[in-house]
Amino acid sequence: MRLKASLLAYLYICIYAISSCYNAWSRYGERPAMNEDLIRQLKCCTTLPTPPSTAVRIIELANSPNASLMQIADAVAFDPALAAKMLKVANSPLYNARRSAGNVRQAISLMGTHAAITIALSFSLVGGLKSAQHNAKTNVFWKRSILSALACRVLAQHFRLPADDLLLAGLLQDIGIIALQTALSERYDELAANAVDHDTLLQIERELLGSGHDEVGYWLLKRWHLPDQLAVSCLTSHIQPASEPVPDANSCVAVSGYLADVFLKPDDPVATLKATNAGARWLGLDAQALTDIIEAMRHGLKEIEDLFDIPLIDAAHAEALVAEAKELIFVANLRQMREIEERSQRDALTGAYNRTYFDDALIREFELATRHGWPLSVAVIDVDHFKQINDTYGHAVGDATLQSLTRVIQSQIRNGDVFARYGGEEFTLLFPGTPGEAAAKVLSRIRETIAAFHHTVDAETAFKVTISIGLACHLNTSTSFQRAQNLINAADQALYIAKSSGRNKLEEATIHF
């Protein structure tokens, strides 16, 4: 029964891994072919990083359907440093176990088979690789990797995903950099020196080497016989996000590097802004959720430093950094909200305000004008014979014509005036605090400017257009209207008169509602 249960569990894990990989490929496309010359250089490198012996044994257990807690404990016990870490993890807040572990066997039991293998592999790989290639460059690399792992774990908790798997994926997502630094040495250092950030580094690698560290990482982890989902995470964490945020493991790993940079680049506000953007695009995180995650990372810094034996950032410095990051994130969020609101109020083609915004502005200004006795003028503008332009030159030229007219009109009105596309080739203009005579002067100037403007189709073809305008004024000397809708109706009636009497005219309403 126990063997059957183990086989069923292993089958489930295999199916999950295969489906995860399939979903990743179907979402992100097929894996690009790695540069063959680069593969040869990596294979010829005798100092290419390799897993330490303990990690090799744990990888074997990870790939075995019959791995038992006893075998894992036995493998871990052969490495005293790893055994101490596993015991520490089992008794840490990471697991919040009801009872503490007094030895490695108990620690492994508390974690469970899968978690124990994942955590043990994380420590043994990082510990062995750090010791084998300890220098200033790799120290920076491991700081970013460990911060990324911390971010992955916090994100996993936020989205209720497998935290241990994500921690290891975060650690190894950029392992290709170590391989490239080792195999190419000074050439890679020169290449990397031109990169201002992680994204630029990947772009330069692809341009100059034919492949990036994402592909190299995938190749290396497959060479080490690590589980497929870990190798795939090297690729999926470096590909553009889907059109809509997808809060899955791949997206968490992708965002984790940006969150790591928030802590590694405390004096660079761009790093925080990039993390804000990445969190929104990949995971749909708003400002509050992102600041909560950064705060949780700050609280986890000391523990992750102790577990991986690497100093990351001073506690006091981290607190100030997080405070600054929070402020910057909320400022950026407010700006984005204003931009979104602004876009929702604009016509997509011309950039003028849309009808909804104009109608709301008209009601507000009408009520204000009526309350204080201020004049208010409204104009309705129609492009003459616009259908002929579309029929003769095509809709693209027609669209360009409306855009040109918009620029001309916007250049001749005040900041407080409201210009909107009311529908099709019809526009409206609202002149708050402006009597009819002053509004008529502005509209006449606009009409004359547009009539003289040449619209170019190509090097040999150009044409002119004219506009007809209807104007109505509220509280202009003795005239007034009962409702805002009556005012716009009067301007529309005046436009009808302008068009029916020959077009290219400005008519002012003489009827009042």
Q: What is the pLDDT of residues 189-237, one digit of tens each?
A: 898 888 888 989 999 999 899 999 999 999 999 999 888 888 888 888 8
Q: Residues 6 or more apart from 206 whose CB is under 8 A from it? A: 212
Q: Where are the domains of the chain?
A: 134-220+238-339, 355-508
Instruction: For residue 406, count other CB atoms closer than 10 A to its CB.
Output: 18
**Alpha carbon distances (Å) from 73 to 104, 138, 308:** 6, 30, 20
In residues, how long is the chain?
Answer: 513
What is the strand order of the sheet 418-423 is part of? 418-423, 426-432, 376-383, 467-474, 506-508
- Show Cβ contacts of residue 60 under 8 Å, excluding neighbours closer than 6 positions: none
> Residue 336's pLDDT band (boundaries 50, 70, 90)?
low
Looking at residue 332, its pLDDT comes to 66
Task: For residue range 68-100, list pLDDT tens digits in order.
Answer: 888 888 888 888 888 888 888 888 776 655 567
Query: Can you give the pLDDT at residue 93?
Result: 72
Residues 6+ apart with CB under 8 A from 399: 349
Mean pLDDT is lowest, of 37-41, 174-178, 281-285, 343-347, for 343-347
pLDDT for 253-286, tens place per residue?
999 999 999 998 888 888 888 888 899 889 998 8
Give yes or no for a contact between 513 and 481, defined as CB atoms under 8 angstroms apart.
Answer: yes
| CATH classification code of 355-508 | 3.30.70.270
Phi-psi region of 373 (alpha: psi -120 to 50; beta: other; left: phi over 0): left
Query: 124 near 54, Cβ under 8 Å?
Result: yes
User: Of all residues in the chain, what percent carry a pLDDT higher than 70?
Assistant: 89
Confidence of residue 339 (pLDDT cuts 50, 70, 90): low
- What is the distance between the alpha carbons of residues 4 and 504, in angstroms, rounded to a whole number? 87
Higher pLDDT, 331 or 53: 53
Beta-strand ranges (E) seen in 400-453 are 418-423, 426-432
Q: Note the pLDDT of residue 34.
A: 84
pLDDT computed for residue 478 by the predictor? 67
Q: If you average pLDDT over residues 456-470, what whole number do you get?
A: 91
The whole-number pLDDT of residue 98 equals 57
Instruction: Express each pLDDT in 119-162 by its tens digit.
Output: 888 888 888 787 766 677 778 889 999 999 999 999 999 999 98
Q: What is the mean pLDDT of residues 448-456?
A: 91
| pLDDT score of 27 | 43
Q: Please give the mean pLDDT across all residues of the chain.
A: 85
Q: How confident is the model at residue 4 (pLDDT cuts 50, 70, 90)?
A: very low
pLDDT at 22 over 50: no
Is residue 3 pLDDT above 80, yes or no? no
Residue 217: its pLDDT value, please? 92
330, 292 Cβ separation under 8 angstroms: no
Neighbours of 214 (CB within 10 A): 26
pLDDT number for residue 94: 65
- Strands 467-474 and 506-508 come out as parallel
Average pLDDT rounded to a whole number, residues 34-63: 87
List, for residues 235-254, the tens digit of each pLDDT value. Answer: 888 887 877 888 999 999 99
C-alpha to C-alpha distance for 130 and 117, rounded to whole angstroms: 20
- Over residues 404-414, the pLDDT tens digits come to 999 999 999 99
